[in-house]
Amino acid sequence: MNTLFAIFIYISTLVFVVGLLQRIRNYAGTPAPLKIPTTPAPVTNGGVVLRMTREVAFFESLFKGNLWTWAAGWLFHYSMLLVVFRHLRYFTEPVWGWVDFIQPFGIYAGITMLAGLLGLLARRIFVDRIRYISTPSDILMLILLIGIAASGLLMKFVGHPDVIMVKNFFIGLMHLHVESLPDNFVLYLHLTMVFTLLFIFPMSKLLHAPGLFFSPSRNQADNPREKRHIAPWAAKMESEK
Amino acid sequence: MADIAPPAYRTFPIIPELKPGAMEGKGPFVAPDKINEALGFPGHLVDDWHDKAIAKMGDLLSRYRSLKVYMDACVHCGACSDKCHYFIGTQDPKNMPVARQDLMRSVYRRYFTLPGKLFPKLVGACDLTREVLDEWFNYYHQCSECRRCSVFCPYGIDTAEVTMAAREILDSVGYGQKYSNEIIGKVHKIGNNLGLPGPALEDTLSGLEEDVKDATGVDVRFPIDVKGAEVLLITPSADFFAEPHIDSLIGYAKVFHATGTSWTLSSMSSEAGNFGLFIGNYDQLRTIAMRIRQAALELGVKRIVVGECGHAWRVAYSFWNTLTGVGDGADPNDRFAQMLQKQLDHRYKQPAHICEFTWDMIQDERLVFDKSKNDKYVITFHDSCNVARGSNMGGYPGGQFDIPRNIIRAVANNFVEMDSSTTFERTFCCGGGGGLLTDDLMDVRVKGALPRMEMLQQVKDENGVNFMACICAICKAQFTKVLPIYGFDRKVIGGVHQLVSNAIQLGNK
């Protein structure tokens, strides 16, 4: 059982890493033939870095677009980030100082993450327009994340599995040998959902994460008059005549 | 046309209810064989359109990072869902930007992603059927490529890019739109969108010289094909004869006259508009823009200035350097671009907008105005979508908003802003952009104008606004037609240089 589960984890992780790298290579290798930043846009590369930072850190555009979605979305994403950081303690020995420091905050973040997700789900159910555009996979994706957050909180506040064993299991996997996991149903559920999420990441809308960094309307400097921008396939047209 | 009633104003700009299917079958005329073939497209829908369309989509996905990323990145968050003027005006849910994109995204998922191949229902993927293709034609011609949705998208997804890709796929299988393709054919054949031949143009210009002489007593020239002129003016051909466009053309001429600038138009390249943008076709975009390069080289001009036209300014500002080398900063080994860039005067931005030119002259105190000449007007400014969200002026972000307003304030006393949720980067399209300025789309155009009309009504009621200035030929043509339907005088719309023309003092300096 443990071996089978370990194989599932390895495969998911592999699909996640290789799939994501392949996707990123694909985005990076596809030319952007025209300058299409949504203006007003920064005119320098430094300005672009700032614009992207604001997008990533504060979801600036979404803030302009819809306050409720922004609030729920931002709460969910940054809570999850804190939760992920908190989980680093299962993969590091000794545990890094800052990971140790954020442990209590990570717990609260688990709760706010769940709150954010429920907010996003509520929109899909109760707002006409959002219900119209939602596909079954949109809903399932939220349910999966809600399941992950809820099962995690359940283990924290109700049935504590032996976390030392969990840690040994993952440190073991990192050194390519399989230790046993504590016999805890919620733990298995939690891990299955987490690694399912990683598995589907590179072939689903979760690609919005790398996608943002490659979005020409956001990552291009607005300097078309100052510098000639031309894609290789377009430059060929000039030699053909 | 007479039977088209405008939708009622919303008492409070609330988000409208969904009316599924409201705009089904409201698309434009399909292009006949001759019009398509003139552009090198198949004359009518080819037999193997399915395979050809999918192959074309694959080709575009490999050449445009925008399309590739935008197909993957959408999470259906809905931030864009209430931002489109066509959705607000028509209430058809497929006019929500995300739903319009999904018409293509669902096909992308089916043919280009593993989950879509395995579980189409689950991820909302679907086969490209004839019904789907018809929906593309219908709804991708109810998008004016105005980019308002992209302002609010957390990933910057720009529906304009998706619409352009869809139209290019449709063209590649012989399912083109009559209006845009017909106009592109005219540019190739004659040199401008209106099909105005050189002699007619010369006639019009000499007529204008007489008119201005009669009105002002001053000999303002409208030169054409003058070799060695400093400035080549490229302006939308509507400026040559349409109302109120022509009043802005007179304004440009007066600015050139008053500043002693030698300038010329070109009969061969008498069009700033570039409908290649609307159909998303790089070849067409480039071929049309090449006329400007050719004219600049032949006439030996030092500067290229672009008249009041929204999408033309986007193409000129953002794409001309890429397409034709009109600009600066080409690689030293880039012989194609260097040929032209060596000729141009790089103390100035190339190309420059006429508003940049005029504002520079105002700052240099080379123009004198009698502002009271515009006192009959209470003026507001409508930001045109392509200028606002697809370009800049003055070389700094937001210059495209400041400079036209600065000019208005320099030539007139009464200026008020419309509601800030509908100006600057949040401006609403006039409803006629992106290749929709055709009578067969009148229903869509009237409904799409709703958000702008609401705000115009507001400043009319509160501030007595009776003139809406803009810098776009399409906005001018669209509003001239739509304003009366909403109960305004058609003369409420006009150009910034029309105001300049009213106030400028000739012969004082």
B456 pLDDT above the threshold of 70: yes
**B485 Cα to chain A: minimum distance (Å):** 29
Size of interface A-B (CB pairs under 8 A): 230
For residues B123-143, give the mean pLDDT: 98
**A21 Cα to chain B: minimum distance (Å):** 14
Give the percent of chain B with pLDDT over 90: 94
Report the sign of the C-alpha dihedral through residues B186, B475, B434, B441, in that order. Answer: negative
Of B79, B329, B334, the CB nearest to A69: B79
pLDDT band per the 50, 70, 90 thresholds, residue B323: very high
pLDDT of residue B3: 67
DSSP SS3 for B456: helix
**B384 Cα to chain A: minimum distance (Å):** 12
pLDDT of residue B13: 64
Find the helix or strand (DSSP H, E) in which B462 lies. helix B450-463
Spatial separation of the C-alpha atoms in residues B318 and B337, rounded to whole Å: 15
**A206 Cα to chain B: minimum distance (Å):** 7
B75 pLDDT above the threshold of 70: yes
Nearest CA in chain B to A47: B397
**Left if phi > 0, otherwise alpha if psi is -120 to 50, otherwise beta: which for A28?**
alpha
B290 pLDDT above the threshold of 90: yes
Task: Estimate to the nearest angstrom the gap between the alpha carbon of A143 and the chain centroid.
Answer: 15
Interface test with B, best of A215, A227, A239, A240 (most B CBs within 10 A): A215
Of A65, A208, A231, the CB nearest to B73: A208
Report CB contact under 8 Å: B81, A59: no
Residue A57, burial from CB neighbour count under 10 angstroms (0-12, 13-18, 19+): exposed
Give the percent of chain B with pLDDT over 70: 99
Q: Are the beta carbons of A35 and B392 closer than 8 angstroms?
A: no
Q: Which residue has the higher pLDDT, B144 or A2?
A: B144
Find the helix or strand (DSSP H, E) in which B169 lies. helix B159-172
For residue A69, which residues of chain B lie inside 8 Å, CB to CB? 77-79
A229 pLDDT above the threshold of 70: yes
Spatial separation of the C-alpha atoms in residues B315 and B363, rounded to whole Å: 27
Closest CA to B354 of B271, B281, B438, B248: B248
H runs (alpha helix) in B300-419: 310-314, 320-324, 335-341, 354-363, 385-390, 399-411
B5 pLDDT above the threshold of 90: no
pLDDT band per the 50, 70, 90 thresholds, residue B509: very low
Report CB contact under 8 Å: A133, B401: no
Q: Are the beta carbons of B85 and B428 closer than 8 angstroms?
A: yes
Nearest CA in chain B to A55: B154
pLDDT band per the 50, 70, 90 thresholds, residue B4: confident
pLDDT of residue B218: 95
Nearest CA in chain A to B146: A38
- Tens digits of residue pLDDT in A19-47: 999 999 999 999 999 999 999 999 999 99
For residues A77-87, give the mean pLDDT: 98
Of A23, A31, A138, the CB nearest to B76: A138
Q: How many CB atoms lie within 10 A of CB B411?
A: 27
Report CB contact under 8 Å: A133, B321: no
For residue A34, which residues of chain B lie inside 8 Å, CB to CB? 282, 318-319, 322
Spatial separation of the C-alpha atoms in residues B294 and B292, rounded to whole Å: 5
**B402 Cα to chain A: minimum distance (Å):** 12
Report CB contact under 8 Å: A61, B151: yes
Instruction: State the pTM of this model.
Output: 0.96
**B434 Cα to chain A: minimum distance (Å):** 16
Nearest CA in chain A to B400: A40
Report CB contact under 8 Å: A228, B329: yes
- Burial letters A104-115, b for 16+ CB under 10 A, else e: eebbebbebbbe
Report CB contact under 8 Å: A40, B392: yes
Report CB contact under 8 Å: B390, A55: no
Say which range, B91-100, B102-111, B140-149, B195-204, has the weakest mean pLDDT: B195-204
Nearest CA in chain B to A65: B152
pLDDT band per the 50, 70, 90 thresholds, residue B11: confident
pLDDT of residue A38: 98
- Output the average pLDDT for chain B: 96
B203 pLDDT above the threshold of 80: yes
For residues A195-206, give the mean pLDDT: 97
pLDDT band per the 50, 70, 90 thresholds, residue B194: confident
For residue A117, which residues of chain B lie inside 8 Å, CB to CB? none
Spatial separation of the C-alpha atoms in residues B158 and A61, rounded to whole Å: 13
- Burial letters B265-280, b for 16+ CB under 10 A, else e: bbbbbbbbbbbbbbbb
Of B68, B283, B395, the CB nearest to A27: B68
**B381 Cα to chain A: minimum distance (Å):** 17
pLDDT band per the 50, 70, 90 thresholds, residue B88: very high
**B425 Cα to chain A: minimum distance (Å):** 7
Q: What is the dihedral of CA B122, B124, B128, B132, to 10 degrees?
A: 140
Nearest CA in chain A to B338: A228
pLDDT band per the 50, 70, 90 thresholds, residue A240: low
Interface test with B, best of A55, A76, A220, A228 (most B CBs within 10 A): A228
Give the percent of chain A with pLDDT over 90: 97
Give me the DSSP letters along B88-152: HHH--GGGSHHHHHHHHHHHHHHHH-HHHHH-HHHHT-----HHHHHHHHHHTTS-----HHHHH
Say which range, A17-21, B14-18, B106-110, B127-131, has the weakest mean pLDDT: B14-18
Report CB contact under 8 Å: A31, B398: no
Nearest CA in chain A to B353: A225
B467 pLDDT above the threshold of 70: yes
Nearest CA in chain B to A36: B390
**B476 Cα to chain A: minimum distance (Å):** 22
pLDDT band per the 50, 70, 90 thresholds, residue A1: confident
